[in-house]
Amino acid sequence: MTNIAIAIHGGAGTILKAEMPAEKEQQYRQVLEKSLNAGYEILRSGGSALEAVEISVIYLEDSPLFNAGKGSVFNHAGHHQMDAAIMCGKTLEAGAVAGVQQVKNPISLANQIRLHSDHVLLMGEGALAFARERGMNLEDDNYFYDAYRYQQWKEAQKTNKAFLDHSKSNNQDHKFGTVGAVALDADGNLAAATSTGGLTNKRYNRIGDSPLIGAGTYANNNTCAVSCTGDGEFFIRAVAAYDVSCLMEYKGLSLQEASNIVVQDKLVKIKGEGGLIAIDAAGNIALPFNSEGMYRALQRNDEPTYIGIYRE
């Protein structure tokens, strides 16, 4: 049987079962399952890895539970600035967007940039202008408003600091958020996609690792596809996604070995918290994280679906 596989994440951080109401946990699991199933159905019907990761991320962007798309956090000015990237493992083509507002599904805009521009990364007003040219779905601020995100922002403003969506830094239940997907299709091609609303109360048009090819997102058929989540500044410094690929290509490590070195060793040494999802051309999947938990799910061939939240 030809291998097909997909893995998704909804962010990593301080996710403790003791602090998670059963009803809320069920909501997370349901959205993760719907996202995973949407991507897997595309793969099972012969669709591409690129199509699969885009649709899976769209499902996560459309849920207010995750810090991407509809659930994006507020920046210092009370707006939503979103980042996303998508990459093709076969051609190394990539599209990315940073600091964009109003776009309903930033991952789809990133893919339009990949397909219909001569560039990899567009940002801000320019990215929004491109979105309008491409006829992308736009929404006003009311669409992105969420009472819980708003309260996070108000609390963060008291400290004048920026926070990961669900860190304990400001004594709140804050830190999950960034979403992503990686996939292997029946043709043996890999793809990766990542989307985020960034940091709560962020200033100065801060951009994290998610839209940066090689930092938060990377795909190469010769090695792997990777989507990262966590403390973006550290993933940028570690060039985390590309480092997994490099360890496989230059040292001959397995996907699991390379992923573990990056997440459990290299990032830990520089105090970088978070995790990643990765897949290789054989359909092997790695889901390492050094935080208390990571929203994650995977489906491979006809094997049982796996959905996880906490450290196991």
Give burial (CB, 10 Å; 0-12/13-18/19+) of 155. Answer: middle
* Number of neighbouring beta carbons within 10 Å of residue 310: 14
Rounded Cα–Cα distance for residues 88 and 181 (Å): 12
Rounded Cα–Cα distance for residues 81 and 162 (Å): 14
Total number of domains in the chain: 1
Give the torsion through C-alpha atoms of 305, 21, 65, 54, to 10 deg: -10
Phi, psi of 263 (to 5 degrees): -80, -45
* Number of neighbouring beta carbons within 10 Å of residue 51: 17
Which pLDDT does position 138 carry in this prediction? 97
Q: What is the pLDDT along the chain (312 residues), one digit of tens a residue?
A: 579 999 999 999 878 888 889 999 999 999 999 999 999 999 999 999 999 999 999 999 999 999 999 988 887 777 789 999 999 999 999 999 999 999 999 999 999 999 999 999 999 999 999 999 999 999 998 898 777 776 665 676 666 555 555 444 443 344 457 999 999 999 999 999 999 998 877 888 899 999 999 999 999 999 999 999 999 999 999 999 999 999 999 999 999 999 999 999 999 999 999 999 999 999 999 999 999 999 999 999 999 999 999 998
Question: Residue 38 belongs to what domain range?
Answer: 5-310
* Number of neighbouring beta carbons within 10 Å of residue 130: 20
Which pLDDT does position 232 carry in this prediction? 93
Which stretch of DSSP H or E encloses residue 131? helix 124-133
CATH at 252: 3.60.20.30
3-state DSSP assignment of residue 220: coil
Angle between helices 49-61 and 106-116 (to 10 degrees): 150
One of 14, 91, 159, 178 is an active-site residue; which one?
178
Which pLDDT does position 174 carry in this prediction? 44
Which pLDDT does position 33 carry in this prediction? 98
Write out the two tokens for 179.
């979403």
pTM above 0.85, yes or no: yes
Rounded Cα–Cα distance for residues 68 and 164 (Å): 13
Residue that has been written with the tokens 């609390």 in this structure: 155
CB 168 within 8 A of CB 263: no
3-state DSSP assignment of residue 227: strand
Is 2 annotated in the active site? no
The neighbouring-strand residues paired with 82 are 100
